[in-house]
Amino acid sequence: MQIKKMSLIRHMEELRRRLIICILTVLGCSIFSYLYSDKILAFLKRPFPHSLVFIAPQEPFIITLKVAIFGGIIFALPMITYQVWQFVSSGLKKKEKRSLLFYSPFSLLLFLSGASFAYFLVIPVGLRFLLSFGGSFLQPMISISKYLSFITLMIFAFGIVFELPLVFLFLTRMGIVTPQFLAKKRKVFIIAIFVLAAILTPPDVFTQILLAAPLLILYEVSIWLTKIVAH
């Protein structure tokens, strides 16, 4: 009992140490991002062809801080991933370690693919579609805070959902799911996709479809890949 207690204490101390490293890394990267917040904000604004406004005196300052934190988290991701790996790997079996090491580069690639898909295609198309309802009588006056919330949500949402094939591949290799199970539950998953799209995207049908459509394709790709892994 005493040995288990000591092991738990060491485990918690290790978690605390790695959390502190992650927080300090995010803080350092956020300071760096603050120095280039104008360039980061210009990059995020590029899909939107109109001017943005602010509706409160403190809003530009708050937005600058948000952009700095956003950039800090993005730039700190490699260190955060490394610290998570170091913490988790001690409790994994050799087979599980090999699987995670194999999937890690693909995980980053898929996240960047999803984020790029959102930034270069979904967001510009979605914005044009939504703004078209204003017609020639209404001029868009979107606040910088609303726009920033919209674009960061879309980028992270697409980045995360593009991890779907990797998740199913990992679960298949661990023996948790099978290709037959995924094919059998296709209808259930389609419903779940649209529910997830409704949660992750702004409350309009068009952007929900833009997220749901690639998810459906990724699900079918996942079934195909899991069949290869299973055999």
pLDDT given at position 34 = 94
Is there a single domain that holds both residue 148 and residue 231?
Answer: yes
Residue 231 pLDDT > 80: no
C-alpha distances (whole Å) from 11 to each of 50, 79, 124, 203 are 51, 20, 46, 42
The predicted-structure confidence for 151-175, as pLDDT tens digits, reads as follows 988 888 888 888 888 888 877 777 7
Residue 146 pLDDT > 70: yes
Q: What is the DSSP string of 102-135?
A: HHHHHHHHHHHHHHHHIIIIIHHHHHHHHHGGGT
Torsions phi, psi for 101 (to 5 deg) = -65, -35
Residues 6+ apart with CB under 8 A from 154: 118, 122, 123, 126, 201, 207
Which domain range does residue 6 map to?
Answer: 1-91
**pTM given for the model:** 0.77
The count of C-alpha atoms lying within 13 angstroms of the C-alpha of 226, restricted to the half-sphere facing its C-beta, is 26
Is there a single domain that holds both residue 76 and residue 105?
Answer: no
Is there a single domain that holds both residue 101 and residue 65?
Answer: no
The predicted-structure confidence for 10-30, as pLDDT tens digits, reads as follows 778 888 899 999 999 999 999
The predicted-structure confidence for 95-123, as pLDDT tens digits, reads as follows 667 767 777 778 888 888 889 988 998 88
The predicted-structure confidence for 33-56, as pLDDT tens digits, reads as follows 999 999 999 999 998 888 889 888
What is the share, in percent, of the chain residues with pLDDT greater than 70? Answer: 90
Is there a single domain that holds both residue 80 and residue 155?
Answer: no
Is there a single domain that holds both residue 118 and residue 226?
Answer: yes
Is there a single domain that holds both residue 32 and residue 98?
Answer: no
Is there a single domain that holds both residue 117 and residue 219?
Answer: yes
Is there a single domain that holds both residue 18 and residue 103?
Answer: no
Whole-number Å distance between alpha carbons of 225 and 178: 11
Q: From the CB of residue 158, how many other CB atoms can be counted at a distance below 10 Å?
A: 26
